[in-house]
Structure 1
Amino acid sequence: MRLLLVDDHPLFREALASAIALAFPKAELHEADGIRAACEILEQNPAIDLTLLDLSMQGVTGFEGLTTIRARFPRVPILIVSGVTEPRVMQEALRHGAAGFVPKAVDKATLTRAISEVLGGALFMPPDLAATPAPVRGDDKAPIAERVARLTPQQMRVLGMIRQGKLNKQIAYELQVGDSTVKAHVSEILRKLEVISRTQIVIETAYLDFDQTSGF
């Protein structure tokens, strides 16, 4: 069993690694403190069986980290380990391709069961939280999550910068590409998200930003 732990808090990574090592003594553990490092490890270790990912990390908004890893490494299931306990967020994580969701406060037995079930091909949510109905949102929300999942990793990076209000020249500088390349990415993002302007991109994807959610 080869697992990748992705969290920018060293103490939590250490605690999580210790819990996993006790439950699965033969497990091979890799650790990353961010999405870029996680992608590098997954690139170098294609045999990794499962990624355990925190949603709330520096430089990551909403589900950007999850969708980035899913787009680049669709074979590797992702188990979210987060401080969130809101059914709304958990449901959205599953819509974005997560194979399971466990709050950071769960006991070792629940974490062990989550890992085992996800590795076995099942979806996992804690029974007490899975039984809680998620708030009903408008019909315009679910489709945008599915459309965002169509974006390539580079388009996801451009989308993140658009949401930060950056201009094409600023995006081109940060990505070290030409203006024409950025324009092409923006056009593709508009097409895939089925919107007509950068402003509409920001409005349509605003609900993906859970930075203000307690514990996220």
Structure 2
Amino acid sequence: MTRLLIADDHPLFRTALRQAIGESLGDGVVHEAADMPGVLAALASDADIDLVLLDLNMPGSHGLSGLAALRGQYPSVAVLVVSAHDEARTVRRVLDHGAAGFIAKSASPVEIGEAVRTVLDCGNWLPPSLAKAVAALPADPADADLAARLARLTEQQYRVLTLLGEGLLNKQIADRLSIQERTVKAHVTAIFEKLGVRNRTQASLLLRSLALAEPAL
């Protein structure tokens, strides 16, 4: 039985996705999550999830950071990005960070169903209206390199990195994560080594490079 996870902070959109998936696939297990901690918790509790339909902006995930975390921590789980960020360059970056496909939030239920079936069949999916423009853009070696470095982080190290990006000090991070400050220091040292950075500023800049411009209205 197919097992999917819908990750979006808007309940109405999650309902619409669930309905489109149900009409396309029939029986299956569909989990839902409204933020990135919920996504990671769902994946940790159900090792048989086949596909995550991931919004790029939700609590705990902004831009490509959530995608990077999923691909690093759960590389065997396919990710289909569902976003209003439908510019060709953004879609190219989504693919470079390991997504199996992309569908715009304006996609019809029929297109959503086709995208999900294609990715579950181990294929890749792009909207026909974007495929040519995305194919014309070369892959960015910087994104591929960043994705590889982020994939080396553990789940807890990624949480620490995210809080570093928010400007929190070690003690504040320890309080937020309910761990010892010395544990945070050990994580920070490991993060710097794995990412090839020297200090908190460089680590924060690297994380911010995953941000995306607001989509045009």
Q: Please give the secondary structure, in 1, of the residue aligned with 2:133.
A: coil
- Report the residue type matching 2:149 in the other structure: R
**2:112 paired residue number:** 111
Identify the residue that residue 170 of structure 1 maps to in structure 2.
172
Q: Which residue of 2 aligns with 1:101?
A: 102
Alignment of 1:118-137 (within 5 A): 118-133=119-134
Unaligned runs of 5+ in 1: none
Equivalent residue number for residue 82 of structure 1: 83
Equivalent pair of 2:9/2:59 in contact (CA under 8 Å): yes
Alignment of 1:1-216 (within 5 A): 1-133=2-134, 140=142, 142-210=144-212, 212-214=213-215
For residue 201 of structure 1, report the CA deviation from its aligned partner: 1.6
Structure 2 residues not aligned, in runs of 5+: none
C-alpha RMSD over aligned residues: 2.2
Q: Distance in 1 between matches of 2:50 and 2:17?
A: 17
For 1:138 and 1:86, locate their aligned partners in 2 and report how far apart those are by CA, in whole Å: 15
TM-score, with structure 2 as normaliser: 0.88
Q: Counterpart of 2:85 in 1: which secondary structure? A: coil
2-structure distance, mates of 1:24, 1:207: 36
**Secondary structure at 1:132's aligned position in 2?**
helix
Pairs aligned (count): 215
TM-score normalised by the chain length of structure 1: 0.89
Q: Distance in 2 between matches of 1:26 and 1:132?
A: 35
Moved runs in structure 1, 4+ residues, more than 6 A? 134-138
SS in 1 for 2:171: helix
Cα distance, 1:44 vs. partner?
Answer: 2.5
* 1:44-100 superposed Cα distances (whole Å, 9 cap, x missing partner): 322222111111112322222223333333222111111111122222222222111
Aligned to 1:131, the other structure's residue is in SS state helix
In the TM superposition, what is the alpha-carbon distance from 1:43 to its structure 2 partner? 2.5
Q: 1:215 to 1:31 in 2, by over 3 A?
A: farther
Change in Cα spacing, 1:144 to 1:43, as seen in structure 2 (3 Å) is closer
User: Structure 1 residues 54-63 or 130-139, which shifts more?
Assistant: 130-139
